[in-house]
């Protein structure tokens, strides 16, 4: 049974005019300057407050050192300042060139034939083809579809070294303009998949798609899209802190309120989800593509029939934990081969933030668990290896 949807009926005739957009460059630069000054101006208050509360009340999360506690509060303030109005992606992110319909009639197309010539591929690596049975990871960074670069932290390098695999980290387009909103990130994800399978020759079953936060959302979306398109998808999914409900009711979940002020991330999701799906109706936002947490029963045939193994890692104190638990529950009841490990007193995507939050065990647990998953050596009697931390929800 296909989970495909009637997309023409779910697509708007024009982008949603109320969706957040990237402002003109001068205003964007001014906003970023003011936001940076706001963060710096808050430090004389944030630092003493954090030190006092750390020693008088204790850290909000039991693994937090003073260093981790300070970084948590500073990151939270920075996210609030920089994402309050979703001003846009950072300067180094790729941007789509805006086009006008009036440009088309003025273009003259001439067909030419040229002999092939060897040229240096500046900016690209000439990668070796996959060896027989070789495993690989396709990685998508988080950032609410608003920001984030896959090499901004050390995770990609660490996991490639520790698990001994090749990792393709896709810098997919962020969704704050009509040109780069969905389906643009999905098209970039498909391009990454095609490169691994067609250009390098990796077998789909030997590829693990791994994503964090919005990147985990994109991981699920890619697998579903491939299945609905009749294309063999990945053998494994590894999801860290997955953002799995882009519907307008997402912020009504209890953990959004209860873990506010403990987790470092903010209610960015409401604005960024609106921007990401600006080409689609509100009805589309509740489908398994944009809100997989709410998918039930046969809507998970895309994972059940191919026998995809799914590993989910979440944090007890992250604001997304309710939707993560719902995702796990619905997958399990539908017959998906899925396990969920919840880090006690953990918050958002600690496995990929180990270079920042050094007191967390997130990376240690995550890397230990996904090693047999990626290498297709899962022992059903000891799965996941950290099963002592496994939480039944």
Domain shared by 221 and 164, yes or no: yes
Question: What is the DSSP annotation of 215-267?
Answer: HHHHHHHHHHHHHHTT----SEEEEES-----STTGGGSHHHHHTBTTBS--T
Do 386 and 238 sit in the same domain of this protein? yes
24 burial type by CB count under 10 A (0-12 exposed, 13-18 middle, 19+ buried): exposed
Say which CATH number the domain at 199 has: 3.40.50.1820
Note the pLDDT of residue 113: 85
Provide the CA 19 distance to its chain's centre, in angstroms.
Answer: 20
Domain that holds residue 35: 23-88
Distances (CA, A) of 170 to 3, 174, 178, 210, 244: 26, 12, 20, 11, 20
Are residues 237 and 161 both part of a single domain? yes
Q: For residue 193, name the pLDDT band (cuts at 50, 70, 90).
A: very high
Q: What domain count does the chain have?
A: 2
Q: Distance from CA of residue 340 to its chain's centroid? A: 17
The verdict on residue 184 lying in a domain is: yes
| 24 pLDDT tier (thresholds 50, 70, 90) | confident
- Whether residue 16 lies inside any domain: the answer is no
Q: For 72-126, how does the pLDDT look when each residue is reduced to its tens digit (9 = 90+)?
A: 888 888 877 766 655 444 444 444 444 444 544 555 778 888 887 775 555 556 6
- Both 50 and 194 in one domain: the answer is no
Instruction: Say if residues 94 and 173 touch (Cβ distance below 8 Å).
Output: yes
Identify whether residues 214 and 76 lie together within a single domain: no
* pLDDT tens per residue across span 34-84: 888 988 999 999 999 999 999 988 887 888 889 889 988 888 888 777 666
The string of pLDDT tens digits covering residues 305-324 is 999 999 999 999 999 999 99
How far, in Å, CA of 350 to CA of 160, rounded? 17
Which pTM does this prediction carry?
0.85
Residues 162 and 74 in one domain: no
On whether both 81 and 170 belong to a single domain, the answer is no
Does residue 326 share a domain with residue 267? yes
Strands 166-170 and 136-140: parallel
Closest CA relative to residue 345, chosen from 321, 320, 316, 318: 316
Query: Is residue 39, in this structure, part of any structural domain at all?
Result: yes
Same domain, 153 and 241: yes
CA–CA gap between residue 169 and residue 246 (Å, rounded): 23
Residues near 161 by beta carbon (within 8 Å), at least 6 away in sequence = none
Do 68 and 168 lie in one domain? The reply is no
């Amino acid at each position: 049974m296909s989970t495909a949807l009637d997309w023409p009926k779910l697509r708007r005739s024009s982008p949603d005019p109320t969706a957040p957009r990237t402002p003109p460059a001068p205003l964007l630069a001014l906003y970023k300057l003011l936001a940076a000054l706001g963060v710096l101006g808050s430090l004389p208050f944030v630092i003493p407050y954090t030190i006092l509360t750390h020693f008088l009340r204790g850290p909000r999360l039991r693994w937090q050192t003073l260093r981790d506690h300070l970084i948590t509060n500073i990151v939270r303030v920075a996210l609030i300042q920089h994402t309050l109005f979703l001003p846009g992606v950072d300067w180094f992110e790729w941007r789509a060139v805006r086009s006008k319909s009036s440009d088309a009639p003025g273009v003259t197309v001439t067909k030419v034939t040229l002999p092939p010539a060897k040229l240096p591929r500046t900016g690209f690596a000439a990668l070796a083809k996959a060896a027989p049975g070789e495993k690989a990871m396709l990685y998508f960074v988080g950032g609410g579809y608003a920001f984030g670069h896959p090499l901004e932290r050390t995770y990609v390098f660490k996991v490639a070294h520790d698990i001994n695999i090749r990792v393709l980290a896709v810098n997919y387009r962020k969704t704050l303009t009509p040109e780069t909103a969905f389906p643009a990130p999905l098209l970039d994800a498909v391009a990454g998949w095609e490169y691994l399978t067609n250009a390098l020759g990796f077998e789909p079953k030997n590829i693990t798609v791994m994503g964090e936060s919005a990147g985990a959302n994109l991981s699920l979306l890619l697998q579903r899209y491939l299945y609905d398109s009749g294309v063999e998808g990945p053998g494994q999914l590894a999801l860290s802190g997955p953002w799995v409900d882009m519907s307008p009711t997402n912020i009504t979940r209890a953990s959004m309120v209860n873990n506010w002020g403990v987790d470092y991330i903010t209610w960015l999701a409401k604005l960024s989800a609106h921007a990401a799906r600006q080409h689609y109706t509100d009805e589309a936002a509740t489908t398994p593509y944009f809100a997989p947490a709410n998918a039930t029963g046969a809507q998970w045939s895309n994972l059940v029939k191919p026998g995809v193994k799914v590993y989910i890692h979440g944090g007890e104190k992250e604001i997304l934990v309710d939707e993560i638990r719902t995702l796990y529950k619905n997958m399990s009841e539908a017959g998906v081969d899925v396990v969920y490990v919840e880090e006690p007193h953990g918050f958002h995507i600690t496995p990929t933030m180990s270079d920042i939050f050094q007191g967390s065990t997130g990376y240690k647990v995550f890397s230990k668990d996904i090693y047999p998953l990626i290498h297709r050596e899962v022992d059903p009697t000891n799965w996941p290896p950290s099963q002592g931390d496994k939480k039944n929800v």
